[in-house]
Chains A and B, each alone.
Chain A
Amino acid sequence: MNLHIDWGVLLQESPTGDGPYWKLLLTGLKWTTATALSGWLLALVIGAVAGVIRTAPIRALALLADAYVEVFRNIPFLVQLFFWFFVLPEILPAGAGRWMKQDMPYPEFLTAAVGLGLFTGARVAEQVKSGILSLSRGQKNAGLALGLTLPQTYRHVLLPMAFRIVIPPLTSEFMNTFKNSAVALAIGLTELTFQMKQMVEYSSQVIVTIFAVTVLYMFMALLVNRLMAWIERRARVPGMIAGGGK
């Protein structure tokens, strides 16, 4: 291993045919961002729906949502990704399986994004549920007593407060989607950690490479953190101490 530190390596041409090494990392950054953001959006939708259903009075559906959360929360994300990428196409009906293996566009990306969405969605569902349950029962009763239907009560009374309450844990979850997207290197997605491995192998500049990638990950985490802090400030309720001080 070459411990000689050469920052200029970032400008050198990589043998992968992707241009200089900095471009290699940029491609990785692009896929990491795309995977994390689409996974997060999917997780928000799935998590909100599953979280609401788990607190709603339809027992069969609530059990189904509970089962989803337990399964996806308790299996390592890496194993889930392997399942979606290698197992699912084999157990699907022949036509669908063949489509997944041959014709599905961007197979690594789509699998990673959907897999990440399902994995993170289970965690978001847990938080949305706890947010709803943290509200007093009287809030629901007050909505219903005014003649709002149960869906209207969720929409206008319960969810706006529940989401405000869970902004801090959701911030961590959002940041986790960026970090967890690194797992997708195992199915061959050329995201940032995949590119890091490539660059280390070809350039032998371990320290420069890992330093550059670390800075990029920290930069993304900081952006997410600032964005969520801004949302939290915007959503703050006057006169209330919720989600961290007045």
Chain B
Amino acid sequence: MIEINKVSKWYGEFQVLTDCSTSVAKGEVVVVCGPSGSGKSTLIKCVNGLEPFQSGTISVEGTSVGDPKTNLPKLRARVGMVFQNFELFPHLSITENLCLAQEKVLGRNHDEAMEKGLKLLDRVGLKAHAGKFPGQLSGGQQQRVAIARALAMDPIAMLFDEPTSALDPEMVNEVLDVMVQLAKEGMTMMCVTHEMGFARKVANRVIFMDRGSIVEDAHKDEFFGQPRSERAQAFLSKILHH
């Protein structure tokens, strides 16, 4: 469904991505990990065109992301994205956050959008908070709303950009639970995360990035069992040892 082929990206002289190639099949859950600054967030933002790239190709269900003729808003409406800092719209209530794009992008009427939004809010366990504003919710609750907001667009795939990194430890699990549930239901997911427990539980494949390159792209058992590269071994030993 998502095909990434030899993607390179530079910020001026500095190369942030080097010849990255991988793919995510329908229903597959792929976890992207690696040290900070390795380019994993940049790579995932290239998938829905939030970050431009200078060479290579990315296609989502056959639509080329880098092609200037591509209608990016239309493509993005079909690919959900969840951010590290939630990025709910603070001046809108929870239900307005859930309805905005459904109405403005998909053209659903308000009742339809509301029904869908409330159903998803219930699913992430926050129906009681429908009338509140983002600033009145905890980080974990905000992130669950953000996931519901993305799901309200009926996406064909979901991108997660370090969804639990900005959360207090006690709130990490409530967000991961929602993600695990999604994965089990067959959602196509690409997740940048350091939550190796999540990767072990639901990932099909793990991609390890370092300094802008994909160093390892393997089935999770293989990745956790015997990572081939020394850098991945070193990384794993650091984050799994405490």
Q: Which residues of A contact B (CB under 8 A)?
A: 136, 138-139, 141-149, 152, 156-157, 160-161, 164, 237-240, 242
Contacts and interface: CB of A to CB of B under 8 A. Distances in A.
Interface in B195-234: none
B8 interface: no
Contacts of A237: 90-91, 133, 135
B188 interface: no
Q: Which of A157, A161, A238 has the most CB of B within 10 A?
A: A238
Given A138-B83, A240-B135, A148 B73 contact: yes
B23 interface: no
B25 interface: no
A147 B133 contact: no
Contact of A238 (B45, B85, B132): B132
A138, A142, A145: residue with the most chain B Cβ atoms closer than 10 Å:
A145
B83 A144 contact: no
Contacts of B89: 139, 142-143, 156-157, 161
Contacts of A142: 81, 83, 87-89
A42 to B, nearest CB: 26
Contact of A239 (B80, B133, B149): B133
B54 interface: no
A146 B100 contact: yes
Interface string B83-112: 111011111000000001100111000000
Given A146-B76, A146-B101, A161-B90, 6 more contacts: A144-B72, A145-B83, A146-B153, A160-B91, A238-B136, A239-B134
B81 A145 contact: yes
B57 interface: no
